[in-house]
């Protein structure tokens, strides 16, 4: 039986907990979106300041929820004090890059702070990487267990060579959560991100990865109403502010 391409990517990149991480990310971001949208409504303010803190809520929830998985490691981002969750030396970073759907993820500057740049420049090494399956993983098939065994050595070598970051760009505003994607990123000299591929996690049933060029921006800021929440289709996208 062939392994689903997207699940295989998650396992190869993040190790034994990769499939669970892939499943939990959209749940975490949906929950953060709903809570912050409700907070915006309760605040009864015309500006979107309350919802804008969704960037911080997502950062905290990633480390809190995903940090409970067996192979998770929490790291502190230099010059910021923020904690991020890491799997096998690969850091996960949720990034609210836009408010509206029409914004190109490759058209937003990412390197807006030293803390963000350090995600790609700090050598975290691989001494603490947990590449073996030390816990039961009933969600994995036999083929996926075999895939993990085969990828172990290659992953160890990759971790030793450079810092790796999986960015989770999402677009949202108080009225809608427009998109949630993820992919391994590199930081370009122009301050933008480049992705080899991005997968949508709001509708990941087809197990396909989409080829992309690059991404940029800064994040955190928005409004928060409590109206009908959920994923919305075509709407304009804007920016998002806030930064660690």
**CA atoms of 127 and 89, how far apart (whole Å):** 9
Does a structural domain hold residue 234? no
Residue 220 has pLDDT above 60, yes or no: no
**CA atoms of 21 and 16, how far apart (whole Å):** 10
pLDDT 10s digits, 32-61: 999 999 999 998 887 778 999 999 999 999
Does a structural domain hold residue 144? yes
**CA atoms of 8 and 181, how far apart (whole Å):** 16
Residue 122 banded pLDDT, cuts 50, 70, 90: confident
Domain count for the chain, please give it.
1
**CA atoms of 143 and 125, how far apart (whole Å):** 29
Does a structural domain hold residue 222? no
Residue 161 has pLDDT above 70, yes or no: no
Residue 79 banded pLDDT, cuts 50, 70, 90: confident
> Would the CA dihedral through 105, 30, 21, 86 be positive or negative?
positive
Structural domain including 27 reads 5-215
Does a structural domain hold residue 239? no
In this prediction, what percent of the chain has a pLDDT beyond 90? 51
> Beta strand 164-173 with 83-87: parallel, antiparallel or unpaired?
unpaired
């Amino acid at each position: 039986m062939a392994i689903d391409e997207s699940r295989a990517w998650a396992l190869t990149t993040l190790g034994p907990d990769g499939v669970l991480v892939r499943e939990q990310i959209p749940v975490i971001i949906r929950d953060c979106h709903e809570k912050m949208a409700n907070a915006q409504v309760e605040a009864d303010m015309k500006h979107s300041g309350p919802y804008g803190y969704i960037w911080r809520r997502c950062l905290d929830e990633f480390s809190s929820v995903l940090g409970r998985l067996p192979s998770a490691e929490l790291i502190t981002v230099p010059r910021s004090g923020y904690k991020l969750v890491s799997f096998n030396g690969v850091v996960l970073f949720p990034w609210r890059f836009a408010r509206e759907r029409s914004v190109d993820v490759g058209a937003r500057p990412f390197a807006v702070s030293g803390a963000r740049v350090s995600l790609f420049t700090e050598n975290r090494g691989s001494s603490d990487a947990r590449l073996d399956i030390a816990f039961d993983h009933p969600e994995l098939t036999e083929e996926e267990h075999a895939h993990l065994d085969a990828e172990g050595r290659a992953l160890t070598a990759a971790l030793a060579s450079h810092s790796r970051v999986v960015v989770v760009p999402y677009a949202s505003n108080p009225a809608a959560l427009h998109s949630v994607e993820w992919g391994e990123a590199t930081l370009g000299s122009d301050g933008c991100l480049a992705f080899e591929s991005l997968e949508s996690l709001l509708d990941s049933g087809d197990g396909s990865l989409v080829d992309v060029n690059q991404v940029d921006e800064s994040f955190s800021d928005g409004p928060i109403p409590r109206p009908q929440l959920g994923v919305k289709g075509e709407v304009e996208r804007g920016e998002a502010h806030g930064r660690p």
